[in-house]
Every structure is written in structure tokens, then in C-alpha cells.
Structure 1
Amino acid sequence: MHFDTFFGWPQILLIFILLVPFNALRDTCPIGCRCDEDTQQVTCEGQQVVTLPDRLPSGYETLIIRNSSVRTIEKNSFRKMEKLMHIEFENNPSLGTIEKLAFKGLKKIRYLLKIFLKLLESLTFRLIKFSSCPGLTELQKNAFSGIQNQMGLKIIFEKTPIHRIDGHTFRNAQNIRELTISGEELALSRHCFANINQLDFLTVSGVVLIEPEIFTNSTRFHVVHFKNSQFDIPPSTFSSLSHTSHLLLEHTKIPSIAPDAFSGLTTIQVIEIHACQLGTISARAFSNVENLGELKILRNTIGDLDTSESIMSKALKTRMEENTMECNCGMKWMTSVEEMSDVNFCSTTASFRSIRSFIKAKCMDPFRKRNHSPSTTSSGSFLSVLSILTVTVVSFL
């Protein structure tokens, strides 16, 4: 009996499929994508790409989604890609939603960065990047929760107009090396950066609204940097943020800093406000920061600073230098602070003279005259009363 008589071609094909190792099926390149064996990179590109691949060939560590029609990064999208080290979404105009726990389970995300050829050749960073995704305007609650990365992770949004970050978007995300968000008219909701344990560099720009308590239960941030924004600072904005090296506000318009704006901060090495346009710094704005090393207010324009309590804090050192202010005689208190009135200056209305010079020319002499006048009046009144008493006594005798 011939082999092909006992086994028909359908049976032979079935046996062949069963004998093919499962890994060989897994190692095929996803439909609509290119797989480069040399770089171990999978690139899914073009309008025909409407969903993310559900798997990658074994050993491939980089996934690029470019110029696609992908609308949503769904929950657990990368659950079968534990070895993935680099994810980049580039120029995806239809992408509008990142569902909660979308990146859960990723442990080895990284991005290989080579600088100056051999310099730092072995330095590796992990990366999730969104570039030129105009439809992605909101980061929803828990979108980046559950990332349990073993080493430092970089999450970057650039040329992507994030308008709002919801509370607990990064809940329990661990070991983030860098989080950079370049938003447009960006609103930061209460608790948006809550429950993060260790974030080395947080950089946020384009902010127009900050709600109180955006850092609840977060700790071990190295640098927190807000720049190129415009927002008021309400009370308890940074409450619960602790063990932070540097909190920096830079190149930002801040109409008002409320009383207790920085209350609740604990163990902060430096709070710095640099090159900002400040409207009003309220009294006690910095007064309740516990264990503050240095308060630096440098090279700002300041509208209203009428009391020493505006910069009062428990800082070991305070530097207030090269600021330009709207000068008035209510700022006489600055002359009693060593050298402060010599290194801060008035606005154009006072020809950029130093505060000390302004106070001396405009406020000190009138102040002395006012002191002299009440003294004379008081003396005259005393003599008048004395004359009346003398006349009364003489008449009585």
C-alpha cells in the first residue's frame, strides 16, 4: 500500500502543520509590518495599519508605529511582548485614546542611546515615545498604571497636544527615569502625578491650569521642572511631594502665588523660581515647607511684593537676586535684609535703580518729615495742657 494512498494530501498537510514547532509560527512577522533581523526592529507603517500587532517575533525588542490609522492603545496591548524594550508612536494622527493599564506588564522597556560614537556607548534607557500624534489630547486615569519596569524608563510626549492629564494616570508606575510632557493649554488634574515612587526628571510645559495636590503620595523625585507655561499656583499645589532635589519654575507667567502654595512639601533641597513673570506673591506662600535647603527667586519680574512675609520660609538659605519690581514705599522692609535691596531693581518707571536707591530717594526723607511733624504737634499739645493746669492752680490759690 502506497503512503499517499493511506494518507491523503489533506491528512499530510495536517501532519506537517502539527510537526512545525510552535515557535516557528510565532516568529513570523506581523501582517502589515516589516521585521529587520539586523536591528531586531518591527516597523508597522502606513494607513492600512489600524490595530497594534498582538505579538512580535521572539528576540525582537523594538516596535515602531508610524503614519498609521491606529485609534486606540487598548488595555493590555503589550501583554505578550514582555521582552519589548522600545516603543515609539510617530505621526499617528488618528491616535486619540490610551486605555487604562495599556502598558501593564512591560518590564524591560529601554532605548539604546549612543552619544559621540563610543562615548557612553553602553548607556541604555527604556523608552515609550509619542511624537506628532495630534489626536491624543487627554491622558486618562490609569493609562500608564502597572508598568513594573526593572530599570529606568523614559516616557516622552512631543508635538502631541495633550490638553488634560487625569488623576492617577501614572498610579503605581515604577522606576521612571524621565517623564516629559509638552502639552498645549494643558490642565493638570488633582492627583495627576500621584502614587509614583521614584521619578528622576519630570518636565512639563504648556500648562494653563494646576489643581491642588497633584503629587499626592509621590516621593523620590530628583528634578520637577515646569516651563513655558501660564498658571496660578493655588494652596497646596505641591503637597505631599517629598525627598526632591530641585523644584524649578522657569520662563512661566504666574499671575498669583497663593498663601500656602508650597505647603506640604517635605525635605526639598531647592525651590527655585527663575525668569518668570510674577504678579503677586502672597504672604506665607513658602512658610510651611518642612526641611527646605534653599529658596531661590532669581531674575523675575514681580508686580506685588509688599511684605517680608511673601518670601518668609524655613529655608536654611534664601537668595532673592536680580529681580525687577514695581517699586513703592511699602517695600522699605527690604532695606533691613542684608544686601537684598542692592541686588534687586525697580522697573522702567524708576529707571531700573536699585531698591535701596529708590527707597532712599523717594521714601526715607518724607518718612522723616512725617516723624518730625507728629513730634512737634505732640509737644505743642503737652505745653498747652501744662499752661491750662498752671492757670487753674494759680486761680485756686
Structure 2
Amino acid sequence: MQTKITQIIPTALVLLAVTCFLLPIGRAGLANCPLGCQCDDDTLVVTCGEGHLDVLPIVLNPSLQRLVIKNNKIKTIDSSMQFYAELTFLDLSYNHLFNMPPRTFAYQKKLTELHLNHNKVGSISNKTFLGLESLAILNLRGNFLDELSEGVFSGLKKLEELNLGQNRISRIDPKAFEGLANLRVLYLDDNTLSAVPSAAFGPLISLAELYLGINSFTNIPMNAFTNLSKLTHLDLKGAALSNVTGESFSGLEGLRTLDLSDNRLSRIPTLELMPLSRLEELALGQNDFDSIPMAAFAGMSNLRKLDISGSLKLNRIESGAFSANANLEEIIIASNKALVEIHDGALGGLPHLKRLVLKDNALTTLSDGLFSWNELVDLDLSENPIVCDCRILWLRNLLVNKSNSSQNQIPVICASPDRLREQVLQALSPDLLGCTHADPRQQAIIGGVLVAAAAIVTALALVIYKCRRRIRELVKGGWGNSAIGRKEREYQKTFSEEDYMGRHPNPCGVSVHTTTLNNYQINNHHSHGIRHIPVTEL
């Protein structure tokens, strides 16, 4: 008797469901809408918010096209799915799904998007997704998958996006992606892969975006991406890379976007990245290099956006760092706590620069004319310990001149001196900044005069030092004892002109004085007939 009752109950449930479906469609959807759900029979959409559903409802409109049941307690998908053959969109994310029997979606021939992310799915097979002939997007992110077996997705011929991120995948069969010739986006980030699964990439001839970050690669083997000739976006953020080689990115000449942030690179891989001539966006923050040297990104003439943020060891940017990247439109160098120095000319030669973010570094000052404002629209220098003195006047004037334009300016706040702390730089006068001569041309003229004066003083000092003996003799002769001076002159006359010249060389190296003295002696001898007085007669 109990056995018969057990058999009757499921039959009765099915009859009840069929009876509900036979009701007029216009009323059935509304009348049987579960608590906490919104059912619209005009758009054929049912959305169930956070609630207490633990099974998939079987009494909804059979013509339903979009079904969203998120943040509930559904643990399995049973045969109830067969009642919704018209579905094109199904979202069962953030439930407790751990079991999906084979052929669960056998009746969903029209389904194009299936979201099963953030559940507890531990395994899938090549029979799990049978019947999904039109599926374009499959989201399995945030589950408990640990491996991908051979041909697991082979039935999904039209699949374009596959998200397998945030799982526990450590092994991928070389034939796991067979049949996915139309796949364009693949997420394998945040798993436990110890090597790039290059062998499995062979069938992915249309792949354009690949996300491999937050794994444990340490390095990228030669020709790892050779089969992905159409790849335009590669994300290796947080992949534990300590080194890349010249062959790491071979075959990726068409790459447009590369993310190498949050790795362990001890230097900027200039030569290794040089073949990526078509690269437009590059992220290199959170690495271990301490400087951005001259021509750090040589070869990447098409680079439009560069992000170097969160690097704890970066302390300087050298002159000409971006000299090979004249097409840069956006530079983000933020949250580098050791960055204290940006050399003159580091940001020069960038005529197309529209957005410059130097936020949250350790910059205390910026050299005059560090960057131009030709095309600049956004400037962010906030959260730096800026010292507001005359060295920063050029920036203050630039900000004031642009204050009435359409550019977006985030105020520059002074960190010191104490009297100007928390003041807005743009609001300070040149006098408050300690600038006596605010006009840069006046400053240049004054500087030139000071340099010239210093040069003249130095030259005079050298002349005086060189002629110090002659000057002493002149001083003694002019203001010393007159008797001694006459006696000395008489003494000198007892010698011949040659002896005199030998005993008293000209200390300044000038012959004009000696010549004059000789002429004076000769003239006196001939005109007055005065003989030389021997010393003994004095």
C-alpha cells in the first residue's frame, strides 16, 4: 500500500503542473509567480531576487524566455528544466548548485546565455551541456572545478565566451577545448595552474581575449601563445612571473592590450616587449623595479595608455622615459609610495597626452615645465606631500590659467610649510610662495645678472692673485719709506739692464712696465750725463 502511495504522489504532482499549464497563459504566469519573484508575461521575463527558493519552480509560464533566480538556495537542477524550452537566458548564479545530471539542458535548444557562477559545482563532463546548440556565453566562475577533461565542451559549437575563473583548476587536458573554434573570450584566471596550458590552446583559432592571471607560472615558456595569432588582449596579472624572455610573446604581433601588473619583475622588460609594436595599452604596476629608465618602452610607438601603479620600490622616473611613445594619451602613475623623483624631460615630447594621473606618490616638488598642456584634459596630483614654495610657482600659474577652461582639475593641496598646510595651491599668491619676482622673465634676467657678476668677481680675484707681488712693490714704492725707496732705486742702477731684468722678473707676465723703466733709464743717461754710483760710494 505504501509503495502505491509513493508512486501516486509524483504522478499527482505532474498532473497538477500540466493543469496549471492548461490555464490561460495570460493569467497562469501571474497567478503562479513564486513569492519574491517578479513575473512579466508581456516580456516573458521572470526575476527572483534574494529569497528562500531551494528548487526550480515548475509552474511558470512555459513560454518564458528569460529566467533569473539569483541568491537563493537551489542545490540541483532536475527534470523541471524541460518545461522551459523557449529560454534564451538563464541565470542561476549565487545558489548552492553542486549537481547537474547529464543532459540537464537537453531541451534548451534556444538558450544563448547560461550563468552558473558562484555555486558549488565540483565536476562537469562532455554530457553536462548536451543540447545547448545555440549557447554563446557560459559562466562557471567561482565554483569548485579542479580539472577539465577531454572534449568537455565539444558540443558547444557556437560558444564565444567561457568563464572558468576562480575555480581550483590545476589540470587541463590538451583536448579540453576541442570544438570551440568560435570561442573569442576565455577566463582561466584565479586557478592553481603551475604552467601555461599551451597544448590546449590549439583549437582556439578565433580567441581574442585570454585571462591567465592569479596563477603560479613563474615564467612563460617559449612559443606559449604561438597558436593564438588573433589574440588582442592578454591578462597575466598576478601570475607570479619573475621573468619574461624575448620568446615569451612570440606570435602575438597583433596584441593590443597586455597586463603584467602584480608580478615580480625586477626591471621593465624593454627588449622582451619590443616586438609588440601594435600594443596600445600596457599595465606594469605592482612589480619590483625601482626606476623607469630612458626609452623604457622602445618599439611600442602605438602605445596609448600606460598604467604603472602600486609599485612599492619605484623611486624615480628618468629623463626621456617615454621618448619612444609620442602617441601616449593616458599615463597613470599612482600609489607608488617610494616615488620621490621625476627627472626633467621625463614627461616631455607627448603632444597627445590627455590624462595624467600622478596621485598618491611621494612627490614633494615638480620641476619647471615637467609636462605640457597641449591636449591635457585631466590632471590629478592629489595626495602627494607637495612643498608649496617658489619652485612650484610654474605649476600654480598653469593651474590658474586653466581654471576657467573645460579641463578637469583635482586641487593640489600643500603639505608644507606648516603655514600653508592644507591650502589649495591654485589659491596662493606668488608672495605666499616666497617668490619676490613672480615674472619668470624677471627671474631669468636677475639670474643672468647674478651669474655675470659672479664671473666678473672671480676674474678680478684671479688677476689680483696673479699680480700680488707687483702690487706689493707698487704699494711699497708709492706709500712706503721715501728714503728707502730712493736708496733702492740707486742700488738698482748699479746693475746692468740685463742683470736688473734677471733679478726682477715681471710677476704679472707683462712687458710694458719693464720697457718703460728701461727707456726711462736710457733717456736719463744720455740727456743728463749722470754716471752710475757704485754702492761703496753711498
TM-score by length of 2: 0.45
In structure 1, the partner of 2:262 is 206
Distance in 1 (alpha carbons) for counterparts of 2:306 and 2:171? 30
Post-superposition shift, 1:272?
1.1
Q: Which residue, out of 17, 29, 39, partners 2:111?
A: 39
Matching of residue 269 in structure 1 with residue 328 in structure 2: yes
Partner of 2:303, secondary structure, is strand
Structure 2: gaps of 5 or more residues: 1-99, 401-410, 437-442, 478-488, 490-503, 505-516, 518-538
Q: Residues 41-60 of structure 1: matches in 2 within 5 Å?
A: 49=123, 57=131, 59-60=133-134
Distance in 2 (alpha carbons) for counterparts of 1:79 and 1:242? 41
In structure 2, the partner of 1:155 is 210
Distance in 1 (alpha carbons) for counterparts of 2:203 and 2:278? 18
In structure 2, the partner of 1:135 is 192
Distance in 1 (alpha carbons) for counterparts of 2:234 and 2:197? 16
Partner of 1:183, secondary structure, is coil
Rate the CA distance shift 1:140–1:91 in 2: closer, same or farther, 3 A. Answer: closer
Rate the CA distance shift 1:346–1:129 in 2: closer, same or farther, 3 A. Answer: same
Post-superposition shift, 1:165?
5.5
Rate the CA distance shift 1:388–1:230 in 2: closer, same or farther, 3 A. Answer: same
Post-superposition shift, 1:217?
1.9
Distance in 2 (alpha carbons) for counterparts of 1:64 and 1:266? 38
In structure 2, the partner of 1:256 is 315
Q: Which residue, out of 163, 166, 173, partners 2:220?
A: 166
In structure 1, the partner of 2:288 is 231
Counterpart residue identity of residue 206, structure 1: D
TM-score by length of 1: 0.56
Q: Which structure would you say has the larger Rg?
A: 2
Equivalenced residue count is: 338
Distance in 1 (alpha carbons) for counterparts of 2:274 and 2:160? 29
In structure 1, the partner of 2:162 is 87
Matching of residue 71 in structure 1 with residue 147 in structure 2: yes
Distance in 2 (alpha carbons) for counterparts of 1:97 and 1:281? 45
Rate the CA distance shift 1:104–1:33 in 2: closer, same or farther, 3 A. Answer: closer
Distance in 2 (alpha carbons) for counterparts of 1:268 and 1:142? 36
Counterpart residue identity of residue 88, structure 1: N
8 Å contact from structure 1 (residues 139, 164) kept in 2: no
Post-superposition shift, 1:218?
1.9
Per-residue CA distance 1:139-159 (angstroms, 9 max, x = gap) = 466765774328xx443468x
In structure 2, the partner of 1:241 is 300
Q: Residues 278-297 of structure 1: matches in 2 within 5 Å?
A: 278-279=338-339, 281=341, 286=346, 293-294=352-353, 296=356
RCO (CA 8 Å, sep 6+): is it higher in 1 or 2?
1
Structure 1: gaps of 5 or more residues: 1-29, 110-125
Distance in 2 (alpha carbons) for counterparts of 1:41 and 1:223? 29
In structure 1, the partner of 2:182 is 108
Post-superposition shift, 1:204?
5.3
In structure 1, the partner of 2:53 is none
Q: Residues 341-360 of structure 1: matches in 2 within 5 Å?
A: 347-348=415-416, 351=420, 360=435
Rate the CA distance shift 1:146–1:134 in 2: closer, same or farther, 3 A. Answer: closer
Counterpart residue identity of residue 182, structure 2: K
Partner of 1:244, secondary structure, is coil
Partner of 1:155, secondary structure, is strand
Distance in 1 (alpha carbons) for counterparts of 2:176 and 2:287? 31
Rate the CA distance shift 1:263–1:68 in 2: closer, same or farther, 3 A. Answer: same
Post-superposition shift, 1:359?
7.2
Rate the CA distance shift 1:164–1:312 in 2: closer, same or farther, 3 A. Answer: farther
Counterpart residue identity of residue 161, structure 2: H
Rate the CA distance shift 1:64–1:271 in 2: closer, same or farther, 3 A. Answer: closer
8 Å contact from structure 2 (residues 149, 173) kept in 1: yes
Per-residue CA distance 1:260-287 (angstroms, 9 max, x = gap) = 8846845533251343325255758858
Rate the CA distance shift 1:82–1:241 in 2: closer, same or farther, 3 A. Answer: farther
Rate the CA distance shift 1:387–1:84 in 2: closer, same or farther, 3 A. Answer: closer
Rate the CA distance shift 1:287–1:97 in 2: closer, same or farther, 3 A. Answer: farther
Post-superposition shift, 1:256?
3.4
Rate the CA distance shift 1:33–1:137 in 2: closer, same or farther, 3 A. Answer: farther
Per-residue CA distance 1:342-370 (angstroms, 9 max, x = gap) = 89776446655869866749xx99xx999
Larger % of strand: which? Answer: 1
8 Å contact from structure 1 (residues 188, 207) kept in 2: no
Rate the CA distance shift 1:300–1:390 in 2: closer, same or farther, 3 A. Answer: same
Post-superposition shift, 1:164?
4.1
Distance in 1 (alpha carbons) for counterparts of 2:273 and 2:287? 19
Rate the CA distance shift 1:215–1:32 in 2: closer, same or farther, 3 A. Answer: farther
8 Å contact from structure 1 (residues 51, 70) kept in 2: no
Rate the CA distance shift 1:340–1:140 in 2: closer, same or farther, 3 A. Answer: farther
In structure 2, the partner of 1:5 is none
Distance in 2 (alpha carbons) for counterparts of 1:285 and 1:195? 35
In structure 1, the partner of 2:359 is 299
Partner of 2:182, secondary structure, is coil
Larger % of helix: which? Answer: 2
Distance in 2 (alpha carbons) for counterparts of 1:144 and 1:308? 51
Per-residue CA distance 1:273-303 (angstroms, 9 max, x = gap) = 34332525575885898x8633846335345
Counterpart residue identity of residue 207, structure 1: N
Distance in 2 (alpha carbons) for counterparts of 1:245 and 1:178? 14
Rate the CA distance shift 1:345–1:163 in 2: closer, same or farther, 3 A. Answer: farther
